[in-house]
Amino acid sequence: MDVHSGTFDPNDVSWQGLTLTPAAAAHIRELVNRQPDMQGLRLGVKQTGCAGFGYVLDTVTQPEQEDLLFETDGAKLYVSRKAMPFIDGTVVDYVRDGLNQIFKFHNPKAQHECGCGESFGVQAE
């Protein structure tokens, strides 16, 4: 996994990073192949749901200056530095769940998840 970000602020904490499973990387590459102007996906968080935070995935045609890039086998996952305290160390997977295929997030920072799995909470540091 390569980590790129332009310039790092020396005051930034050291991140563990995010990991894409082979299935997640393959699906991102497939999405990019279908949309020529797309460079990858951006993973973020927003306050939502019954547990506090939800994951947000968006397509990226132009990375933001603050984005960190996590690349696995040519699949690019962009993450805002602001989201890193909530999702650092997360493994992103793409799985078949019955008839559905979805991204799953294995987040070591999540202290609890809601019953439907759509939102998560973190403990204040």
Domain count, the chain: 1
Determine the structural domain holding residue 105 and report its residue range: 19-121
In a domain, 3, yes or no: no
The CATH number of residue 82's host domain is 2.60.300.12
In a domain, 54, yes or no: yes
In a domain, 37, yes or no: yes
- Walk along the chain (125 residues) and give the pLDDT tens digit of each residue: 334 433 334 345 688 899 999 999 999 999 999 998 999 999 998 887 665 788 899 999 999 999 999 999 999 999 999 999 889 999 999 998 888 898 999 988 876 555 445 555 555 44
Task: Identify whether the C-beta of residue 67 lies closer than 8 Å to the C-beta of residue 79.
Answer: yes
In a domain, 92, yes or no: yes
In a domain, 27, yes or no: yes
